[in-house]
Structure 1
């Protein structure tokens, strides 16, 4: 723009000088032509100045739109999606959104908010349907378990092994239904009214996996888990034990170590499997993190374990860490906070004091141990059965080596002493 103005000035000066240097008879035509040329040049300069101002205005507007769109994409739209997924209403979210000077940005925000709201409603409806289905399966498995356990006391030894196998399979189906309920935000079907001792929690977790015979417990812990969290802790440990058993050789054992500290109880589930690469360990850490929200989009249809562990860990503030195991596999460290740990019930204290430290191979009980099991009476639960009266009577009983003996011995250790309450 300055160059155009300078050119006009220089052209005018030169034209005046040229007219003065010419003869008087030609001076007037030269001045007239110079004035016309100068006027045209001034008009061109003015038009150029107007166009330059318009271009500057368009450039400023483009920069403003670009800045607003960048803020829209990087900040506003993710915030809208996050707030709607957290459960905020669309009116609340709209009130939190700042006003937009650009009409297009406002329309984009409005359209995006509407689509997110529709998708969230569809997702909530889908999750509610899944939770309803999981609740029905939970009710069915709970009823089946009650019927099977009543039949275990009613029928003879010839069918006891088969009944206990069905009991164990139904427990695994119940765990799967509980996993779906956890992922959909529903409640699990069992509630414990009293604290559950740690040994019963561990054995209850063992009883929910198929490879329970490969799990070895190493525990001297006499503490108990509060009743409202016992079921979730049991479920979390069952998922970790199941993963450890699935990703290790069938001939390898899964070792579970328990240590009681002032800050809570630490449970270590260790296997001798194939191990995990560093990026896989990081992905597993993120899946069970208590800070990052769950992401079910990347969830595989057959691998629900880590997602379930992450949900339960976030619910009760359990810390779950993955690390390499000295045995070649993976060690999972679970820290149960002190807020979930309490003393066992008074009626369980004598039993705990007389009990030896746990360091055995789950349900593999010798025939003499199976023979010392309490006699089941019709109408009685296993925990209510009277203990054997004399050692002589136990030794004279014929040893049982069938599946019923092994399963009944395992069930005696697995079932907690406190009856659960079933939630609808």
Structure 2
């Protein structure tokens, strides 16, 4: 009886047991799946947190490093390099693409701001230099008028000194104007190369220290005469400024198959390899000049020379060292920049030979701002007649060591006095007639 009861009980409980087992299995499977989902969610959350940290760091790197580097590159060299990302694993993501778009927009804004600033600066500099040049030329005209009115040697000597200072100021204004996009501002005739060099000598402060060797017969074309004068003056000024006051600046000429070179040697401090490379870059004229990006202090001379060389086609180099340990500057003029010598004119009865009006080879070029290659015309009585438009400047190369500063005033005083006497005699003759 007992086994029958047990079998009956098992028969009655079997369906419930099976159902419970099935429910337990299902519950276990569900719990396992949910556990896996929870693990995956935790991993995704961890990755999202790490990605957020990386992006925060990348944004910080963009602000503090990449934009700063990009700004420096844009201002210094014009390159568009912001440097690599801090976390390369972010490359190719939407976040990296958004950063690149930010950088491109930043580049556009910086270039626009730089262009507006450069244009405004150049306009302001051009306006100032034009006004300054006008004042300098007016002052030089007043000095010339004063020289015509006076014949006292002391007054004339002082006038020469003032005129010399004006010529230096005019040269500086020309260089600054060139960097601002202006033109040299003077048109000349074909000029002997020797007179071109002397014109550069007359525009520097220490002109008495310059010694010119050789007398080339080449002429410089009218379109490049003033640019070459400016370039030579700036190189001579650097040579004299960065060498001892008692040393000489040697200038000589080297004839080449394709042209002629003006060589300037000084006994100064020389150039370091880094400075020499920087000077070569500036003198090449290949780098765009931006007034808003000039260094402090700016090297206006080399920048102006490089711009002139690139614009007019001559070459300037300071790559060599002089025999005295200083700098050897070379200005090379190819034959396309040279002109033919003018045909000789028939001598006239009222004109003296040019050689009789040329100063000896050892005299110093006068510090005047105006230069010409023609001699003074001579009246019937043999006295020279001064002309305002052109002045004789065929002056010698080597200055004497003991020349007093008033010699120019004394000579000019005699010249003015004789000219006034000639005009007075002519007036008296007309009145008597």
TM-score tier, shorter chain, comes to: 0.5 to 0.7
Question: How much is the aligned-residue C-alpha RMSD, in angstroms?
Answer: 4.7
Contact 2:125–2:180 (Cα < 8 Å) also in 1: yes
Go from structure 1 to structure 2 and tell me whether the alpha carbon gap of 1:330 and 1:111 turns closer, same or farther (over 3 Å shift): closer
Contact 2:151–2:412 (Cα < 8 Å) also in 1: no
Q: What secondary structure, in the 3-state scheme, does the structure 2 residue paired with 1:256 have?
A: strand
Distance across 1 between alignment mates of 2:246 and 2:112:
51
Q: What secondary structure, in the 3-state scheme, does the structure 2 residue paired with 1:139 have?
A: helix
Displacement after TM superposition at 1:206 (Å): 0.4
Segment of structure 1 superposing worse, 143-152 or 306-315: 143-152
Displacement after TM superposition at 1:285 (Å): 1.7
Structure 1 residue 403 and structure 2 residue 407: aligned?
A: yes
Q: What secondary structure, in the 3-state scheme, does the structure 1 residue paired with 2:284 have?
A: coil
Alignment-derived partner of residue 92 in structure 2: none
Structure 1 residue 186 and structure 2 residue 194: aligned?
A: no
Alignment-derived partner of residue 201 in structure 1: 196
Displacement after TM superposition at 1:362 (Å): 3.7
Structure 1 residue 243 and structure 2 residue 251: aligned?
A: no
| Unmatched runs of 5 consecutive residues or more in structure 2 | 1-15, 80-94, 348-352, 367-374, 394-403, 414-433
Q: What secondary structure, in the 3-state scheme, does the structure 1 residue paired with 2:213 have?
A: strand
1:53-111: per-residue Cα shift (whole Å, max 9, x none)? Answer: 8959x97xx99xx8xx8xx97999999989999xxxxxxxxxxxxxx994564455345
Distance across 1 between alignment mates of 2:384 and 2:356:
23
Displacement after TM superposition at 1:47 (Å): 5.8
Contact 2:198–2:365 (Cα < 8 Å) also in 1: no
Structure 1 residue 266 and structure 2 residue 270: aligned?
A: no
1:229-279: per-residue Cα shift (whole Å, max 9, x none)? Answer: 211111011000000001111110000111232322211111011222222
Alignment-derived partner of residue 363 in structure 1: 365
Go from structure 1 to structure 2 and tell me whether the alpha carbon gap of 1:348 and 1:204 turns closer, same or farther (over 3 Å shift): farther
TM-score by length of 1: 0.66
| Count of residue pairs brought into register by the alignment | 344
Alignment-derived partner of residue 4 in structure 2: none
Displacement after TM superposition at 1:217 (Å): 0.8
Q: 1:125 aligns with which of 89, 101, 120?
A: 120
Superposed, 1:22-421 pairs within 5 Å as 32-46=23-37, 102=97, 105-106=100-101, 108-110=103-105, 112-158=107-153, 159-192=155-188, 194-294=189-289, 296=291, 297-301=293-297, 303-322=299-318, 323-347=320-344, 360=362, 362-363=364-365, 375-377=383-385, 383=391, 402-404=406-408
Alignment-derived partner of residue 93 in structure 1: none
Distance across 2 between alignment mates of 1:115 and 1:142:
40
Distance across 1 between alignment mates of 2:225 and 2:112:
36
Distance across 1 between alignment mates of 2:76 and 2:326:
37
Go from structure 1 to structure 2 and tell me whether the alpha carbon gap of 1:354 and 1:317 turns closer, same or farther (over 3 Å shift): farther
Distance across 2 between alignment mates of 1:355 and 1:44:
112
Contact 2:266–2:326 (Cα < 8 Å) also in 1: yes
Distance across 1 between alignment mates of 2:107 and 2:341:
54
Displacement after TM superposition at 1:403 (Å): 2.8
Contact 1:152–1:160 (Cα < 8 Å) also in 2: yes
Go from structure 1 to structure 2 and tell me whether the alpha carbon gap of 1:313 and 1:132 turns closer, same or farther (over 3 Å shift): same
Displacement after TM superposition at 1:342 (Å): 2.0
TM-score by length of 2: 0.65
Q: What secondary structure, in the 3-state scheme, does the structure 2 residue paired with 1:190 have?
A: coil
| Unmatched runs of 5 consecutive residues or more in structure 1 | 1-24, 86-99, 365-371, 386-399, 410-424
Displacement after TM superposition at 1:282 (Å): 1.8
Q: What secondary structure, in the 3-state scheme, does the structure 2 residue paired with 1:269 have?
A: strand
Distance across 1 between alignment mates of 2:410 and 2:206:
14
Structure with greater Cα Rg? 2
